[in-house]
């Protein structure tokens, strides 16, 4: 099962990154977020799995902010949110 987890996470991250509709759908499902959190706990010794899981969680948890910045019409508006 370990050999399948990383490729699945990579494909899921690329799909979520490129399709805002799927990202919104997954972001509104708590079961998806809990599943990703469980994967990160189960595979906590695998750095690549943790990296992909963290990337997916960031995309899903900050989906609303990403959509505001992506579709903003005002060029001179300051970003509403930034990570350090």
What's the pLDDT score for residue 1?
67
DSSP-derived secondary structure letter, 79: P
Q: Summarize pLDDT for 6-49 with one digit per residue, the tens.
A: 999 999 999 999 888 999 999 999 999 999 999 999 999 999 99
Q: Summarize pLDDT for 40-72 with one digit per residue, the tens.
A: 999 999 999 999 999 999 999 988 776 665 555
Residues of 27-41 as b/e, b for ≥16 C-beta within 10 angstroms?
beeeebbeebeebbe
Q: Indicate whether this model's pTM tops 0.85.
A: no
Q: Contact, 63 vs 27, CB < 8 A? A: yes
- Spatial CA neighbour of 17 closest among 48, 62, 79, 49: 62
Q: Contact, 80 vs 69, CB < 8 A? A: yes
């Amino acid at each position: 099962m370990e050999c399948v987890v990383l490729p699945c996470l990579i494909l899921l991250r690329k799909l979520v990154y490129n399709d805002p509709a799927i990202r919104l759908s997954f972001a509104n499902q708590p079961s998806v977020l809990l599943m990703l959190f469980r994967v990160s706990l189960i595979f906590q010794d695998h750095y690549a799995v943790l990296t992909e899981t963290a990337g997916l969680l960031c995309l899903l948890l900050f989906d609303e902010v990403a959509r505001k910045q992506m579709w903003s019409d005002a060029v001179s508006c300051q970003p509403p949110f930034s990570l350090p």
